[in-house]
Amino acid sequence: GAVHGLHAQLLLQGVVPPLQPLAQVLIFTTILSNVLAARLAGVDNKYAYAVYLISGILCWSLFAEIIQRCTTIFIDNASLLKKVQFPRIALPLIAVGSAAITNLALLGMILLILPFLGIMPGLSFLWLIPLMLLTIALATGIGLFLGTLNVFVRDVGQVVAVVLQFWFWVTPIVYPISVVPEAFRATLAINPVVPIVISYHNVILFGASPDPRILWSLVVAVMFLASALLLFRRGSAEMVDVL
């Protein structure tokens, strides 16, 4: 009843045609392709930079969308939480599901585009399944943690948007990691999204396996999921009163 209606409502609100990420790819390709395409070593393809961007944006759009939705999910549905009895954890799970559907639609469009860019999907593309699951796990852990915290500290939601913009630029999505000075590469190594994005590049552009440093991303994802569930369990009882 109520939960099914909620599910349908959130899906209708959340699933947006994945045109914005592709528009980002077009803008960055137009502006930066001549500057950075030559820095992509080991690829003899005039569309290599466009494929590089597509790969990174595919990962980042899923990651950022889940965090943005989960951060405000409880506040956006405050009236519903006060009126209807249902498991509150369903809200972020439905938000994650709708973000995943949007990302799968984007992936479908990318798979149609890639042959025109000189890339034929092969067996290496099967790595995208665990990579997407890892991206979802990391983003869900961070998003649920921030979403619960945002109920009690309302400034969190405003800070997240700024942090995500900064986070985008300290992740090698638009630029190859080879252009980053050695002094800053150690800082990038802390970023758990970096190995995932590099793995997307490896799989889609180079037809290779994921980056071994992906284990760091997995460790961080597990830590955030555990912390988020613990915080959610402690704050869930008081959530409706604060809202």
Give the integer Cα–Cα distance in Å for 242 and 71: 16
pLDDT at residue 64, rounded to an integer: 96
Task: Give CA separation, 49 vs 6, 53, 121, 147, in Å.
Answer: 41, 6, 17, 35
Query: pLDDT of 38-70, one tens digit each?
Result: 567 667 777 888 899 999 999 999 999 999 999
Structure tokens at 97: 């599901």
Confidence of residue 6 (pLDDT cuts 50, 70, 90): low
Instruction: State yes or no: pLDDT of 142 exceeds 90.
Output: yes
Distances (CA, A) of 15 to 26, 69, 101, 169, 208: 22, 11, 7, 25, 31
For the segment 220-235, the average pLDDT, to the nearest whole number, is 94
Q: What is the pTM of this model?
A: 0.86
| Those residues with Cβ within 8 angstroms of residue 185's Cβ, 6 or more apart along the chain or in another chain | 177
| Residue (of 22, 20, 51, 58) closest to 36 by Cα position | 51
Residue 239 has pLDDT above 70, yes or no: yes
The enclosing H or E element of 102 equals helix 90-113
> pLDDT class for 159, splitting at 50, 70, 90?
very high
Tens of pLDDT along 82-135? 776 777 888 899 999 999 999 999 999 999 999 988 899 999 999 999 999 999
Which string of DSSP letters, residue by residue, matches 159-187?
HHHHHHHHHHHTSTTSS-GGGS-HHHHHH
